[in-house]
Amino acid sequence: MGVVLSSAAKAAVCISGLIFILNVMVLWESHAQDVTETSFEAVEALNLFQPDDPFFGHGEIYSSETILQEFKLFSGKPFDDPRLAFRFLIPKGWVAEPVMRQQSPALTPFTPTRLTVFRGPLSAAGTPFLELDAFQLDYDITALDWLRTILLPRGYEPERMKAFSDHRAEAETSFIYGSNQTFRGRAIAIIHGNIVHFLHYAAPAVLFKERRDRYGVIAASLDMPSPSQDVIEPRFSLNIGDGFFYHYPATWQLGESGKLENGFSRAELFNFNALGEVDGLIHLEAQTKADNGENPQKLEQVHLRLDEYGVEIGERLSEEDHSLTGKASYSPAENQTLNVYEAATNNMSGPHEVWILTRDDQKHFRSLTLVTPDRHESPASWARNRRALEIMAMSWLKPAEK
């Protein structure tokens, strides 16, 4: 049976609905222009625009005079927050669009906070666009790995990727936009403190091909004038005996650790997910050699140690599948080896990988072993775990050797 409302009740419902709409409008506003066009000189253009790798076509053909003629400099400080401030060069004819967002920033690791949007000139092929978002990090990760975790869920297929440092990475993308139209673009991630600026611009494939170098000026000029100094996560120190010090992310939990007999030391670290399940494991060992330099440990023995965790090693992955990062602050030295394998586990579901990093010098043999979900099945967990391994590897020298 239907419910019949009186005139007064209908009026009350309308008023309630109007109040709700007004509340939403207060929380979410349309910001017409959060960016300001700024005049700049040829010298500043050269400082902003620094062509990097021709692999990404950062417009090496452009002189400072050409940039002054064909580009304009825009800057912004969304929410009046200096950590979110940005500036970049953009072709003349592109215009900023209104941005719907809350009155105050609510940065999260997963939901983007939109900072600005630009649209290029309308053409028969389609309209190019640019979007700049901000995210907050809650754990340490390289820019390249962060890009991997963000592009695919958004429907962007990364075709080429490059890490310029641990804190800046770029990728060329392709995706279907609108009515089955192929767009190509470039994605840039810049990590500073615990904030990521994520810029993505794209154009119809035919237009992007024609203006690839021109669009590259945008990527090369992107700059954060007041980068965040906030710490993503603190790092703890671990001493497992005989002066073997390691640093590890504070979000990891320390299990058994300490010095055993015969100069042998070991420890284990766990990464737990929100459900309290093990989402990553690092096992580290160190042993002092005998006076004759005889190696008390072999890589095969490290493999056997994995049996304790119910890990079964499979095929070894190729070299290009396991570089620690493209341009990282750490890479294995001459007396170190890195081997990566496919793996299955009894205690953790899904396919896994095992990373074994060893160091063999005159006095000691050391190993770091990572067990992590597979990069394809769980890219976010894989990136987080691999970064933890890298942090520990960068700190595993004895103090006297630093």
Segments forming the whole domain that contains residue 283: 235-401
Percent of residues in the chain assigned helix, strand, coil, to nearest 5: 25, 40, 35
Give 126's DSSP letter.
Answer: -
Q: Which of 221, 247, 271 is the last residue of a domain?
A: 221
Helix (H) or strand (E) holding 151: helix 143-151
Joined tokens for residue 245: 């010090």
In a domain, 18, yes or no: no
277: domain CATH number is 3.40.1000
Q: What pLDDT tens digit does each residue of the chain (402 aa) get?
A: 443 444 444 444 343 443 333 333 333 344 444 566 655 554 444 444 444 444 444 445 566 777 788 888 888 999 889 999 999 988 999 999 888 766 667 888 888 999 999 999 988 888 999 999 999 998 888 898 899 888 888 888 888 888 888 899 999 998 888 778 899 999 999 999 999 999 999 999 988 888 887 788 888 888 888 988 888 888 888 877 666 778 899 999 998 876 666 667 788 999 998 888 889 999 888 777 766 556 555 555 666 678 777 888 888 887 655 555 433 344 555 577 888 888 888 777 788 999 988 887 777 778 889 999 988 888 889 989 998 998 888 876 544 344
Joined tokens for residue 188: 């840039």
In a domain, 137, yes or no: yes
* 292 and 199 in a common domain: no
* 91 and 115 in a common domain: yes
Of the chain, the end-to-end C-alpha distance in Å amounts to 81
Distance CA 71, CA 94 (A): 9
Predicted structure pTM score: 0.76
* 268 and 359 in a common domain: yes
